[in-house]
Structure 1
Amino acid sequence: MFEEVSQILVVDDEAVNLELISAIFIDSPNIVILTARDGVEALEILKNHTPDVIVLDIRMPRMNGIEVLEVLKSDSRTSHIPVVVLSGDDRERKNALKHGANDFIPKPFDAEELKLRVINNLQVKKYQDLVRNINEVLQKELMKKTKELREALELAKEAEYEMVVKFGMISEFRDEETGQHIRRISYYSKLLAQLIGLPESEQNIIFYASPLHDVGKVGIPDNILKKPGPLTPEEFEIMKLHTIIGGRILTSQPKFITLQAGKIIAEQHHEKWDGSGYPYGLKGEEIHIYARIVAVCDVFDAITSDRVYRPAFSIEQAIDIMKKGRESHFDPQLLDIFLNNFDEFLKIRETFKD
């Protein structure tokens, strides 16, 4: 799957788990497995190696997984490495996410699920590295002639958008949506930003960042993400974690404007105007304008598209549903502008059909 060699560090105090996880990747010649029996040994390995993903057990002697996470996320050399935690305890998994874990796998783990989750996080890491590299290239291009710079910037922006779309689609390959949903959200969001009078620079930011709204779904188990019926309260609590996971994935330095905006949108696009949303219960203008814009656009696109748990609603039904959420779910001013310019959004929907 990956042309260059990728390293995965597995940290677990049970030798049988280290052997089993190593065996899972034996048919992947471009993946090298490093192993550590506890947190102390893992940190020693990290002095000489920079793995692309860390699989981390929580309960270990000498230094447990939470303590290791605290060290990893406080060090700039390791804070960007995705960490997939192993734990059979729901509270431990939530605590690990709060301490910066990117994903979790229940114990005892399913070998196929573990492999898929690790590879998903490996893909995310590769895309993040690629975005960083592009930004470095752009900084160097600033030293070149104006004409060359313009051409490079245009090409880089096109490449950045395609990468962001594909980055956003990582979770959608599991959620059975399509890249057209990602593109519709992108164009809807930019249009709504334009209609409310945001400057062109911010219109472009939301255009590039909005496709990342659901990237955290990469961390949600398939049996919940693809469930054909209603979720139980317990399953819904896990589903809500995709906002926090998305924020973790997109955490970056402030100079990476697209990723910073994507983090805000990923974390806040399920917040509601009346404060009844998640994950933080933000209310009114406490919710960032980018997230309020994407909330309107995402709900419209979601309810007018087929989902595994229900068929699409008609346009008329969608408008009815959204009007009912005018001062509870949505920023009323944004919703009014959206509905008053509805024909323009329908043109986008027609352009990017599934």
Structure 2
Amino acid sequence: MFEEVSKILVVDDESINLELISAIFVDSPHIKVLTAKDGLEAIEILKIHTPDVIVLDIRMPRMNGIEVLNVLKSDPHTSHIPVVVLSGDDKERKNALKNGANDFIPKPFDAEELKLRVINNLQVKKYHDLIKNINDVLQKEVMKKTKELREALELAREAEYEMVVKLGMISEFRDEETGQHIRRISYYSKLLAHLAGLPESEQSVIFYASPLHDVGKVGIPDNILRKPGPLTHEEFEVMKLHTIIGAKILDTDPRFITLQAGKIIAEQHHEKWDGSGYPYGLKKEEIHIYARVVAVCDVFDAMTSDRVYRPAFTVDQAIDIMKKNIGTHFDPNLFDIFISNLDEFLKIKETFKD
């Protein structure tokens, strides 16, 4: 998976945990584990090494995990590094996410889950770095007004879209969804943005950013994400965190328009028109137009697709259910546009069927 050696920094005041986590990656030759017994030692290590992922305990002497997070996220040299927190306390984990953590692992931790979560965050980091590098190259090259450059820009844009789709699929595969779901959302969203009168530049942005709407599901445990029955209240509260996790993953320099738009969509696509959504209870135009567009498209595609907890609804059943949520869940204007042009959306559905 990783051609170059990836570095993981594990910070925990319990030496047994440092040994256990180091042992987990013994059979991974492309992953090097660095260890620190507390936050202060971790800060010193970061002056020499730049890890790709940090696994951080919350309760530590001298400098606790939240204090370390604040240092990491306030420094532009370390703010981009994914942080996976270790804690047995639900409030501590939520507080860590609010302070910039990207993921969490309950303590006592399961070795296989820890390894998979770290590898997932390494994948996200690699894709994030790759997209960033492509944008840097494009910005330097954009001054060259040549035919070769235009062809290269088009190829790079196509490559960026494929990478965004692959990034979105990291979480979708765990949710038993497919790459076709990601592509349908992309084309649905661009079409609805076009029909709603958004400028062509914004139609393009939403086309490339919408596949990232559920990337935060990479941080949700399998026992919740793939549960065949209804979620408990506590489980749903954890599920809702995928919006915040997604925004953390996609938080980057404002120059990277696709990732910035993806952050907005990931964070707000479960907000509702009447303010009853999550994570912030935004309502009406407080919700970004990108998120309102994706909300209509995502719900339609989810309802007309098979899920682990239910079979797909027919198109007519889905539309009937969605009509009952006009003005509560969905932007009424966008939903009217969607319904009035349903045949065009169904063509996309047929083109990218599972």
TM-score normalized with structure 2 length: 0.99
* CA positional deviation for 1:148: 1.8
CA distance in 1, matches of 2:27, 2:291: 42
Aligned counterpart, 2:317: 317
Aligned counterpart, 2:26: 26
**Does the residue aligned with 1:32 lie in a helix, a strand or coil?**
strand
Matches within 5 A, 1:64-103: 64-103=64-103
Aligned counterpart, 2:8: 8
Check if 1:120 corresponds to 2:137. Answer: no
Matches within 5 A, 1:148-187: 148-187=148-187
Check if 1:344 corresponds to 2:344. Answer: yes
Aligned counterpart, 2:221: 221
Aligned counterpart, 1:241: 241
Counterpart residue type for residue 54 of structure 1? I
CA distance in 1, matches of 2:145, 2:338: 42
Counterpart residue type for residue 238 of structure 2? I
* CA positional deviation for 1:145: 4.1
* CA positional deviation for 1:323: 0.4
CA distance in 1, matches of 2:262, 2:338: 22
**Does the residue aligned with 2:188 lie in a helix, a strand or coil?**
helix
CA distance in 2, matches of 1:324, 1:142: 48
* CA positional deviation for 1:147: 1.0
CA distance in 1, matches of 2:332, 2:28: 52
* CA positional deviation for 1:225: 0.1
Matches within 5 A, 1:119-138: 119-138=119-138
* CA positional deviation for 1:142: 2.0
Aligned counterpart, 2:191: 191
CA distance in 2, matches of 1:147, 1:46: 44
Aligned counterpart, 1:333: 333
Counterpart residue type for residue 19 of structure 1? E
* CA positional deviation for 1:342: 0.2
**Does the residue aligned with 2:313 lie in a helix, a strand or coil?**
coil
Check if 1:232 corresponds to 2:232. Answer: yes
Please give the per-residue CA displacement for 1:1-38, whole angstroms capped at 9, x wherever unaligned. 21110000000000000000000000000100000000
Report if the CA contact (8 A) 1:56-1:83 is conserved: yes
Aligned residue pair count:
354
**Does the residue aligned with 2:10 lie in a helix, a strand or coil?**
strand
Structure 1 unaligned segments of length 5 or more: list them.
none
CA distance in 1, matches of 2:142, 2:284: 40
Report if the CA contact (8 A) 1:164-1:208 is conserved: yes
CA distance in 2, matches of 1:288, 1:22: 43
* CA positional deviation for 1:139: 1.6
**Does the residue aligned with 1:216 lie in a helix, a strand or coil?**
helix
Aligned counterpart, 1:284: 284
Identity %: 85
Report if the CA contact (8 A) 1:141-1:152 is conserved: no
Please give the per-residue CA displacement for 1:95-137, whole angstroms capped at 9, x wherever unaligned. 0000000000000000000000000000000000000110111
Aligned counterpart, 1:141: 141
CA distance in 2, matches of 1:337, 1:273: 16
Please give the per-residue CA displacement for 1:129-165, whole angstroms capped at 9, x wherever unaligned. 0001101110221243421220111001000000000
Counterpart residue type for residue 77 of structure 1? H
Please give the per-residue CA displacement for 1:202-249, whole angstroms capped at 9, x wherever unaligned. 000000000000000000000000000000000000000000000000
CA distance in 1, matches of 2:139, 2:91: 43
Counterpart residue type for residue 119 of structure 1? I
Counterpart residue type for residue 261 of structure 2? A
CA distance in 2, matches of 1:138, 1:265: 24
Aligned counterpart, 2:299: 299
CA distance in 2, matches of 1:349, 1:241: 29
Compare 53-62 and 149-158 and name the one that shifted more: 149-158
Structure 2 unaligned segments of length 5 or more: list them.
none
Counterpart residue type for residue 53 of structure 1? V
Report if the CA contact (8 A) 1:81-1:125 is conserved: yes
